[in-house]
Amino acid sequence: MRGGLWFEPKGIWQASLVFAGLIEMQIDQDVKSELVTRLNRIEGQIRGIEKMLEDERECRDIVTQIAAATKALETVGFRMLASGLADCIKHPRKSAAEGYSLGEVEKLFLKLS
């Protein structure tokens, strides 16, 4: 199954993220929308950094902006995993069967830290 949207009986729209085309981690649709908004902002930050380089701005200012964009991207990763972890806690057997045991999600968190 590829990533997509579906409607659950509880009335919650959810999105799935598919890793290597095999395993899904369910992310709440509201969280997905929030992450897309954050990623759009980060994209703007990166374009701003590129412009700063082209304009030969002060190195200190560029590094400050790079640090801010890095932190923002890390926040996206942690927020996505936190949403997926909530689903793993609600449905531990299903999540483990799909390759997302709590231990596996912990490993993903550690990759970001």
Q: Are 54 and 44 in contact (CB under 8 A)?
A: no
Highest mean pLDDT among 8-17, 38-47, 94-103: 38-47
In percent, how much of the chain has pLDDT > 70?
Answer: 78
Structure confidence at residue 59 (pLDDT): 97
Q: Does domain 5-112 have CATH number 1.20.1250.20?
A: no
Provide mean pLDDT across the span 72-92: 88
For the entire predicted model, the pTM comes to 0.69
Residue 103 has pLDDT above 50, yes or no: yes
**Which segments within 1-113 are labelled E, that is strand?**
5-7, 13-19, 23-28
Structure confidence at residue 68 (pLDDT): 97
